[in-house]
Chain A
Amino acid sequence: MSRWLSLYAVAAYVFLHLPLAVLAVFSFNSSRFTAWESFSFTWYHAAFSDSQLGEATVNSFLIGTAATVLATAVGTLCAYALWKRSSLWMTSTLYLSMVTPEIVLGIALLALYQWMFRYLGLQLGMHTVILAHVMFCTAYVVTVVAARLRTMDASLEEAALDLGATEWEAFFRVTLPQLVPAIVSAALLVFITSFDDFVITSLVAGVDSETLPMVIYAMARKGFNPAVNAISTMIVVGLGVLILLSSRLEHKA
């Protein structure tokens, strides 16, 4: 392999990683200006003592967890059903939900909620955000779980049925255990996607359901605040660990 190609690869990886690395380094800078002064945890303290950030983090975890549980359950069942009997309608709709631009999904959901609330008298809040997240994450779960199902031997389940297992028993005791790595991998992806979403969330969130990305966005717009560097670094490291975990599981599957 030519030396030029290797050099280019180094440059490309620098481009991919340097912006985040620089952000992480400067999150430990004691100065509020972008000139290195000395190492300190000042901005981490600032981030942890900010009550708005704390509240938003709790919201993000609650929404992420609820969305993960629901989307994973619904998506896994859907992938299993599609494996048993394919449905062009269902597959196309899932594809469509994956490729529709986020901003369009966001305003479409907002339109639906407004229209429903006029008759039901409910308001935007955590529940509307969770439902939105479940909607756009289900297709990811189906994709990951379906990929695993395609590599599986259908005769195992048939054998279980022949040996007298009911359909439920065959699913829960034969098929499901083989799917566990793929399901966990999908669940991690859903959590990451949900935790990170800004565009859709900001459109369908209510006053009591501000999420972490929404606060970061507001802080980033307002002007420079090194505390954002500190939170960003924590998010990148946290989500980075989850994505590594998820890809490990997917390869194992």
Chain B
Amino acid sequence: MAPAATLLAILFLIPIAIVAAYSLLSRGPYGGVMPPWNVENYMRLADPLYLSILWRTILYSFLATAVCLLAGFPLAWFISRSGTRKGLFLALVIVPFWTSFLVRTYAWMFLLRDTGLINSTLQWLGLIHDPLPLLYNPFAVIVGLVYGYLPFMILPIYSTLEKLDPALLEASADLGARPMTTMFQVVIPLAKPGMLAGGVLVFISCLGAYLTPDLLGGGKTIMIGNLVQNQFTAARDWPFGAALSLLLMAVVMAMLMPVLRREKDGLL
């Protein structure tokens, strides 16, 4: 354990502690940090400009999570009911998920840009004259987030549905419930833990998103992740970037706690 403990202490805990310290310092004249110690950086989060970015991040994350839930649940249900081909259908969800996040985001640029596949096809068909503005807007960012994190929703829901006793469905049908009634009265209530876990996983991933808004969004769709990156590079305001990072981390941890508690045996 000692090597892992040393590694995580030096490369994870100490860096986070440095960020925490920076968040309480002031910005130096050439970037960097200097005393005095203060909480000014946290106060600045209330600035309307930053509040609007925070609000947008929450809104996009919420929308993406809602779409993932609505789109992911039926697919998880389909996989859990598909008998011997479960493994195949599950692999079809997992494999694209593991192949390069960057490439998957780039694929949407290829589809959505002005000269992209969707626009050129529509123009070729004569349906539109000028290209539709599909890229660099909130729509593209949310599509990218959904595409990026959909498996985070499907997998936990699938694992709760998988454990569902088929006798319950038969009992419900025998008692005269129609399939839709069974779905809403029996299946969905029992799948709640999976939906909650999936929802939290997607939501926190979206909160920390950087690449998706960076590549698919424009200047008006930046999210917290981009703001953090900007403070550490172009803006050279490390203390404020550090405060933002800690805020992001705190929100993510607070949301994960209930889910981790529920998973008694845990992952480790």
Interface size (B, Cβ < 8 Å)? 76
**Interface SS of B by simple majority:** helix
- Does A126 touch B at the CB level, under 8 Å? no
From B37-45, B90-98, B188-196, give the one contacting chain A.
B90-98
- Does B258 touch A at the CB level, under 8 Å? no
CB distance from B266 to the nearest CB of A (A): 7
Docked-complex contact A20 and B107, CB < 8 angstroms: yes
Residue of A nearest to B93 (CB): A16
Residues of A within 8 A of B252 (CB): 99-101
Instruction: Give 7 A-B contacts (CB < 8 Å), ordered by A residue.
Output: A87-B1, A95-B267, A101-B210, A102-B208, A103-B225, A106-B229, A107-B228
Docked-complex contact A232 and B103, CB < 8 angstroms: yes
A146 to B150, CA, bound (A): 26
From A49-57, A132-140, A153-161, A174-182, give the one contacting chain B.
A132-140
Across the interface, A239 reaches (CB within 8 A) one of B15, B100, B124, namely: B100
CB distance from A140 to the nearest CB of B (A): 10
CB distance from A122 to the nearest CB of B (A): 14
Docked-complex contact B103 and A235, CB < 8 angstroms: yes
User: Given the known A-B contacts A19-B108, A35-B124, A115-B18, are A77 and B229 also in contact in the complex, defined by CB atoms under 8 Å?
Assistant: no
Residues of A within 8 A of B99 (CB): 20, 192, 196, 235-236, 239-240, 243
CB distance from A168 to the nearest CB of B (A): 15
User: Given the known A-B contacts A12-B75, A101-B207, are A146 and B268 also in contact in the complex, defined by CB atoms under 8 Å?
Assistant: yes
- Does A17 touch B at the CB level, under 8 Å? yes
Q: Mark A33-55, 1 if CB is under 8 A from B, else 0.
A: 11100000000000000000000
Residues of A within 8 A of B78 (CB): 1, 5-6, 8-9, 12
